[in-house]
Amino acid sequence: MSMVIGKSKAGEKTGEDAHKSANVPATKSRDGRDRLLYGAGRLLAERGYAGMELRDVAERGEAPRGSIYHHFPGGKAQLATEAAELDGVRIRIGIERSLVERGLKETLARFGEIFRKQASNDPSRIGCPVAAAALARPEDPALAAAATAAFESWEGAIAAALEREGVAADRAATFAAMVVSTVEGALVRTRAAGDLAPLDSAIAGLGQSLDSLLAEAK
Amino acid sequence: MSMVIGKSKAGEKTGEDAHKSANVPATKSRDGRDRLLYGAGRLLAERGYAGMELRDVAERGEAPRGSIYHHFPGGKAQLATEAAELDGVRIRIGIERSLVERGLKETLARFGEIFRKQASNDPSRIGCPVAAAALARPEDPALAAAATAAFESWEGAIAAALEREGVAADRAATFAAMVVSTVEGALVRTRAAGDLAPLDSAIAGLGQSLDSLLAEAK
């Protein structure tokens, strides 16, 4: 899942939703290291780990290519791992905040809106930087481990919200794990379809199942 | 989703489950074209489209590399598209047969078993050839279209089974779409985790939600 979308006033793509949630300053004031991480996250989502070229990361981050090894001596692997970790944390913070403000049903609907905005230019480029990191295994276990930690943190936030609504802990954990898998799978399908129908169906299916879960908890 | 697993008597890997379902002959008697398609499907699942090297396809299919362009004048793109189409059809046939024989709940459980066998050597290599094709967009729209057609055919089979069990058509379609996305997302997460816990959770979550759906339909 990527919640990083929108455009800054300068017309440069930034991660408005996610960055606001995480109190990350706007692109212009971020330093070179942050800009490189931002560029790496976007390219991971769009092209996957194999397709993430360092020259494109530098261009997307508006940073000199030579600065990559200054900030990330471990090169591409370090850059991708830190980008996936950072996006994982940003998304978790966004999920937690939305759950408190809106509850799970509206948070699911909001996922749909966020992806709709992200995909408005080109649904066939939609993707999740964390899923891209996930697919790096077995070539890069550290990157895959960062992805798993992120997925589990999102699950944890959703399970906690379900428990607050009266769902038993085991059912809450199972449902939360399904939510994360469903949204990730829907992104793969959306990319293939080139339109948002698979994502809409997945969100609708989760909403339908959530209604049943909550009704049974009462 | 890949249902292609197991070993033939000759010790050569074949797709026992899926091939039995689709009445595809065992590896030894298949011709070179089929063997290349089989090799391409496995490599797509394990390494993705970018990582599918023609020399490895030839090796996996036990076919001379020069035979690839004889059978597939369109090269890698044609080979991958046909492999994804073929696996899409095999999996649909497997799903339909299992739904008739076992119903949806047991079919979901069977997905879990099949992937458990497939992953027993190395969960970090688990993958779905159709999802790999899905991620080829926007570079290769024909490949992505083959993936979407496969996903939709699986959905259609599952929705029809739900309707037979009394679920209203719109709810059946929504749930079926969610099932396919959930399993695909769980495969991404399983690969990242290097163990089958994400797949087990996803199957359990779908089973839990299916119970609610069927109870409400009564």
pLDDT of residue B22: 42
Nearest-by-CA chain B residue for A131:
B188
- Chunked into runs of 10 residues, chain A (218 residues) has average pLDDT values of 37 38 45 91 89 92 90 94 94 94 91 78 80 82 93 96 96 97 94 90 95 92
pLDDT of residue B79: 94
pLDDT of residue B41: 93
CA distance A153 to A157: 6
Q: Nearest-CA distance from B208 to chain A in Å?
A: 8
CB-based contact B144 A135, cutoff 8 Å: no
Q: Which residues in chain B have Cβ-Cβ distances shorter than 8 Å to A115?
A: none
Residue among B171, B187, B188 whose CB faces A208 most closely: B171
pLDDT of residue B119: 73
Handedness of CA B6, B78, B21, B114 (dihedral sign): positive
Q: Nearest-CA distance from A155 to chain B in Å?
A: 11
- Residue range B61-88: mean pLDDT, rounded: 93
Architecture of domain A16-217: Orthogonal Bundle (1.10)
Q: Which residues in chain A have Cβ-Cβ distances shorter than 8 Å to B209?
A: 175, 178, 209, 212-213
Reply yes or no on whether the pLDDT at B32 is more than 60: yes
pLDDT of residue B30: 60
Residue among A174, A184, A187 whose CB faces B205 most closely: A174
Contact B175, B167 (CB under 8 A): yes
CA distance A158 to A176: 5
pLDDT category of residue B21 using cuts at 50, 70 and 90: very low
For every residue of A104-173, DSSP letters joined together read HHHHHHHHHHHHHHHHSS-GGG---HHHHHHTTTTT-HHHHHHHHHHHHHHHHHHHHHHHHTT--HHHHH
pLDDT of residue A160: 96
pLDDT in tens, B80-115: 999 999 999 999 999 999 999 999 999 998 888 887
Q: Nearest-CA distance from A25 to chain B in Å?
A: 31
Sorted by sequence, the CB contacts under 8 Å of residue B153 that are 6+ apart come out as B88, B89, B92
DSSP state of B6: -
Residue B72: φ, ψ to 5°: -130, 85
Collapse the DSSP code of B12 into the 3-class scheme (helix H, G, I; strand E, B; otherwise coil) and give the result: coil
pLDDT of residue B3: 41
Q: Which residues in chain B have Cβ-Cβ distances shorter than 8 Å to A191?
A: 134-135, 137, 144
- Residue range B15-42: mean pLDDT, rounded: 63
pLDDT of residue A100: 93
Note the pTM of the prediction, 2 decimals.
Answer: 0.84
Is the peptide bond between A138 and the residue preceding it cis, with omega within 30 degrees of 0? yes
CA distance B45 to B135: 11
Name which of B85, B171, B189, B190 to mutate to probe chain A: the one with the most chain A Cβ atoms within 10 A of its Cβ: B189
Q: Which residues in chain A have Cβ-Cβ distances shorter than 8 Å to B129?
A: none
Name which of A43, A125, A135 to mutate to probe chain B: the one with the most chain B Cβ atoms within 10 A of its Cβ: A135
Element (H or E) spanning B30, and its range? none
CB-based contact B191 A48, cutoff 8 Å: no
CB atoms within 10 A of CB B127: 24
Mean pLDDT of chain B: 84
Residue among A137, A151, A185 whose CB faces B181 most closely: A185
CB-based contact B205 A178, cutoff 8 Å: yes
Contact A58, A79 (CB under 8 A): no
Nearest-by-CA chain A residue for B182:
A182
Residue A170 class from Cβ within 10 Å (0-12 exposed, 13-18 middle, 19+ buried)?
exposed
CB-based contact A148 B181, cutoff 8 Å: no
pLDDT of residue A20: 38
Residue among B51, B141, B178 whose CB faces A201 most closely: B178
CB-based contact A181 B201, cutoff 8 Å: yes
